[in-house]
């Protein structure tokens, strides 16, 4: 049995022939054997985009209120420990290894995927640490995702758009049905998508879940220096703008506040804690502006909806003389759909392949960009690190560098620039 965390992670990758194998049968069996039955509230968060932000808001607000919060998210940027947090601190290697041992001892011959194994280990850590509440981020979809092996006290769908079509379907209606699978009978489900598909609404009715949607049961109003949140139980006025910047962060923050409304009896939160949680929230790699000259913007945008959001955010920034895009993606993603909304905001594209099995090569990226008729110069590099180094060597202080397209892209840029996650 492995002893070091790095060895465990290598071992986890070898247990199942597929990196993605949706289904709850395997994880449910091992969960039962481990008797993983949380005695604390569980919040499950899904969505095409925004789910990481909703988790971050919930974690920050509940932590500010004094609760011991367990938060499980994926993927990670720099270290696996980022996925499992308690009291806003990453789980250490020792407790992760101990949890992995527990999973391994109980799984016997059941071939868990990397994500299934990690999900069970995260819950083992949360139970061992006796958290007050657990926040679980869906990995892919919802209905058949490993996180859905745990019943939630409140479920959130942040947004619905086209992504992972091989697994979830190629329409918003099909994808919405998969994401609605995290809803539970007799519980409240929150949807922060302003155009929730009928399939999501119908699923809630079918199973007897109460669906609260933005624009109906809750909403927000924004002003120049503050914003108001309004819901079925009242309003919270003159709120500070959250520390997470971007076009849709008030949607995500509103979803988090709606959860606080739903769970107000189980997890009461004061206005002071709510305000503090909004201004202290942090989420690396989501329109993260690194304060330097030239400006560096990190964004894990890897689908068309996220790319449109990034384009809106770039448009809201002060004008720059020249924008360099350090760009790379996985080849099974909609590369053309990501590039299109950003074409008018990039002067020079710096392309490099991602050194993983699903990574697109620089030449494959060039072909897609040229076929899409993007504006600006296109340059290729052997590595993402070389691309960002080139950008810093040629950029002026009034220019900006934007790195996006994948978690892998942002992680490599962070490594190259010596950026860390605290």
Q: List per-residue pLDDT tens for the chain, 422 residues long.
A: 898 999 999 999 988 877 777 899 999 999 999 999 999 999 999 999 999 999 999 999 999 999 999 999 999 999 999 999 999 999 999 999 999 999 999 999 999 999 999 999 999 999 999 999 999 999 999 999 999 999 999 999 999 998 888 878 989 999 999 999 999 999 999 999 999 999 999 999 999 999 999 999 999 999 999 999 999 999 999 999 999 988 899 999 999 999 999 999 999 999 999 999 999 999 999 999 998 899 999 999 999 999 999 999 999 999 899 999 999 999 999 999 999 999 999 999 999 999 888 899 999 999 999 999 898 999 999 999 999 999 999 999 999 999 999 999 999 999 999 998 87
| One domain for residues 373 and 271 | no
Query: Is 352 within a domain?
Result: yes
Kindly state whether residue 266 falls inside one of the protein's structural domains: yes
Q: 325 and 252, same structural domain?
A: no
Give helix then strand counts, H and E, for the chain.
15, 17
- Does the residue 408 lie in any domain? yes
Instruction: Match 């009461």 to its residue by tokens.
Output: 268
Residues 45 and 182 occupy one common structural domain: yes
Domain end call among 225, 259, 280: 280
Q: What is the DSSP string of 314-350?
A: HHHSPP-S-EEEEE--BTTS-HHHHHGGGGGG-SEEE
Q: Are residues 72 and 192 in the same domain?
A: yes
CATH number of the domain to which 293 belongs: 3.90.190.20
Find all residues with CB under 8 Å of 244, minimum gap 6, and list them: 53, 56, 57, 252, 253, 281, 282, 283, 286, 287
User: Are residues 52 and 122 part of one domain?
Assistant: yes
Whether 54 is in a domain gets the answer: yes
Residue 56 shares a structural domain with residue 135: yes
Backbone angles phi, psi at 37, to 5 degrees: -120, 95
Token reading at 339: 């590039």
Domain at 88, CATH number: 3.40.1190.10
Q: How far apart are the C-alpha atoms of 40 and 32, rounded to whole Å?
A: 17
Residues 311 and 269 in one domain: no
Q: Contact 158/49 with Cβ under 8 angstroms?
A: yes
251-303 confidence digits (pLDDT tens): 999 999 999 999 999 999 999 999 999 999 999 999 999 988 999 999 999 99
Total domains, the chain: 2
E strands present in 3-72: 42-46, 69-72
Does 377 lie in the same domain as 260?
no
- Do 123 and 172 fall within a single domain? yes
Cα 32 to chain centroid distance, Å, stands at 28
Domain boundary residue, one of 236, 254, 280: 280
CA–CA dist 134, 130 (Å, integer): 10
Q: What are the phi and psi torsion angles at 133 (to 5°)?
A: -160, 145
User: What SS3 class is residue 189?
Assistant: strand
What is the pTM for the complete model shown? Answer: 0.96
In a domain, 326, yes or no: yes
In a domain, 422, yes or no: no
Domain boundary (280, 306, 321) is at 280
Q: Are residues 413 and 325 in the same domain?
A: yes
> How far apart are alpha carbons 90 and 150 in whole angstroms?
22
Distance CA 139, CA 137 (A): 6
Range of the domain at 144: 5-280
Q: Are residues 247 and 347 in the same domain?
A: no
For residues 259 and 294, membership in a common domain is answered with no
Token duo for residue 365: 């990226």
């Amino acid at each position: 049995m492995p002893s070091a965390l790095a060895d465990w992670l290598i071992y986890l990758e070898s247990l199942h022939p597929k990196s993605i194998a949706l289904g709850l049968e395997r994880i449910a069996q091992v969960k039962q054997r481990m008797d993983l039955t949380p005695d604390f509230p569980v919040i499950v968060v899904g969505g095409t985009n925004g789910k990481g932000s909703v988790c971050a808001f919930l974690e920050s607000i509940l932590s500010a209120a004094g609760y011991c919060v367990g938060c499980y998210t994926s993927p990670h940027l720099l270290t696996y420990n980022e996925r499992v947090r308690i009291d806003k601190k990453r789980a250490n290697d020792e407790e992760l290894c101990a949890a992995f041992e527990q999973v391994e001892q109980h799984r016997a011959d059941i071939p868990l995927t990397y994500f299934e194994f990690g999900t069970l280990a995260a819950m083992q850590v949360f139970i061992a640490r006796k958290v007050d509440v657990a926040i679980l981020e869906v990995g892919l979809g919802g209905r058949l995702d490993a996180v859905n092996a745990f019943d939630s006290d409140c479920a959130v769908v942040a947004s619905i758009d086209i992504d992972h079509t091989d697994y979830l379907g190629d329409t918003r209606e099909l994808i919405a049905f998969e994401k609605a699978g995290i809803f539970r009978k007799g519980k409240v489900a929150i949807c922060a998508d302003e155009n929730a598909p009928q399939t999501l609404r119908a699923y809630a009715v079918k199973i007897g879940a109460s669906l609260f949607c933005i624009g109906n049961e809750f909403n927000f109003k924004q002003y120049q220096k503050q914003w108001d949140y309004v819901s079925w139980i009242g309003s919270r006025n003159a709120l500070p703008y959250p520390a997470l910047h971007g076009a849709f962060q008030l949607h995500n923050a509103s979803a988090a506040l709606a959860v606080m409304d739903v769970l107000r009896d189980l997890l009461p939160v004061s206005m002071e804690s709510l305000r503090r949680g909004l201004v202290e929230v942090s989420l690396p790699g989501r329109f993260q502006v690194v304060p330097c000259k030239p400006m560096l913007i990190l964004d894990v945008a890897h689908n068309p909806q996220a790319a449109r959001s990034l384009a809106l955010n770039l448009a809201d920034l002060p004008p720059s003389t020249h924008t360099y895009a350090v760009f790379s993606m996985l080849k099974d993603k909609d590369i053309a759909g990501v590039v299109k909304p950003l074409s008018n905001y990039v002067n020079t594209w710096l392309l490099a392949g991602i050194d993983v099995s699903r990574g697109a090569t620089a030449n494959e990226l060039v072909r897609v960009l040229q076929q899409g008729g993007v504006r600006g110069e296109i340059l290729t590099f052997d590595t993402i690190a070389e691309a960002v180094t080139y950008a810093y060597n040629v950029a002026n202080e009034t220019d900006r560098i934007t790195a996006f397209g994948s978690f892998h892209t942002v992680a490599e840029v962070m490594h190259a620039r010596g950026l860390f996650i605290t």
